Amino acid sequence: MTVRTALEVIADHDLTGREAIVTGGAAGLGFETARALAAAGARVVLAGRDQQVGAAAVAALRASTGNDRIVFRPLDLASLESVTTWAHKHAATGKPLHILILNAGIMATPLRRTADGVESQFAVNYLGHFALTMGLLPSLRAAGSARVVSLTSRAHRRGDIDFDDPNYLRRHYDPWQAYGQSKTACALLAVGLHARYAVEGLTANAVMPGGIVTGLQRHLDPEQLAAAGWPALRRRGDIPPGWRTPEQGAATSVWAAVAPGLVGGEYLEDCAVATAWNADGNPPPGYYLPYAVDPGRADRLWALAEQLAGVGRKP
């Protein structure tokens, strides 16, 4: 199978006059996603924590794409105050938002809880993105036909949502299970958005980008990498067999943002709609576990997120 890059996916698209936001857009997968959108003429807002890294990314993207409509704005997804302030400031501009890429994330971190009392992976990967999307709803609605892309992972198989104890207050903390729970939540976010806002022109899908060597693995020591089945990652810079470059990994995110005819609430992989895995064992590439797109779980998670984030659906 030929694996396309994000720039190849975007090649025949003109996004002039479109606005896009990419969380985690200053590095890795997000950087390549932003590069493709900017190359097609979109105005791209990079959202991330580090102002210095963000400024360098803006300079690099402007130089490589010839598009000077690229900016960076600091955002801390671990802080609901930061998220809601950021979203409300953007929405207050009145500009339509055509593409929202929920890309930023952390993986297999030690147990930490945010100032809001939320387990850090659930907070950064899912809850912060949920609150950001809710705050940006006026901008998404103003676009008329907006796209929201929520990045999930094949690691969703490592953890369904524990609705009784999502923040590991009582159960044993396993960093991979917590990562899996957060990525299941990211898939269910797309399902929940589709159920509530498709009628308003919003198309939301979950994207599995593939195995990619980025800063996402920075918290893992060599033993953890080997235990996860990634021994080659012990040699930084190596790309294990079957893994992808960031340019390739960003392809499905970009495809989800621009491909015509997409229906929302789907799990996407390799620039296609993936298939539910109903057999025993772990799903192979191109498949997902059904609970990741289950409407009932999506509704329960939505209610939980509203409670944790202190936000509800606005009229």
Q: Mean per-residue pLDDT for 216-244?
A: 57
Q: Is the pLDDT of residue 231 over 60?
A: no
Q: What is the CATH number of the domain that holds 87?
A: 3.40.50.720
- Confidence (pTM): 0.92
Cα end-to-end distance, the chain, whole Å = 45
Residue 2 lies in a domain: no
- Residues annotated as part of the active site: 179
Residue 153 lies in a domain: yes
Ranking 53-62, 239-248, 278-287 by mean pLDDT, the lowest is 239-248
Residue 315 lies in a domain: no
**Residue 46: closest CA among 58, 36, 56, 37:** 58
Q: How many domains does the chain have?
A: 1
Collapsing DSSP to helix, strand or coil, 127 comes out as: helix
Q: Mean per-residue pLDDT for 141-158?
A: 96
Range of the domain at 89: 11-309
Residue 218 pLDDT: 53
**Residue 222: closest CA among 213, 211, 234, 232:** 234
Residue 314 pLDDT: 41
Q: Is the pLDDT of residue 189 over 70?
A: yes
Q: Mean per-residue pLDDT for 167-196?
A: 97
Residue 294 lies in a domain: yes
Q: What share of the chain in percent tops pLDDT 90?
A: 83
Residue 314 lies in a domain: no
Q: Is the pLDDT of residue 315 over 60?
A: no
pLDDT tier at 234, thresholds 50, 70, 90: very low
Residue 162 lies in a domain: yes
Cα gap 119→98, rounded to integer Å: 31
Cα gap 3→196, rounded to integer Å: 33
Residue 89 lies in a domain: yes
| Residues 125/183, Cβ–Cβ less than 8 Å | yes
Residue 4 lies in a domain: no
Residue 215 pLDDT: 55
Q: Is the pLDDT of residue 222 over 60?
A: no
Cα gap 277→221, rounded to integer Å: 31
Cα gap 235→281, rounded to integer Å: 29
Q: Mean per-residue pLDDT for 225-231?
A: 55
Cα gap 62→257, rounded to integer Å: 21
Spatial CB neighbours of 235, under 8 Å, sequence gap ≥ 6: none
**Residue 118: closest CA among 158, 83, 75, 155:** 83
Q: Mean per-residue pLDDT for 70-79?
A: 98
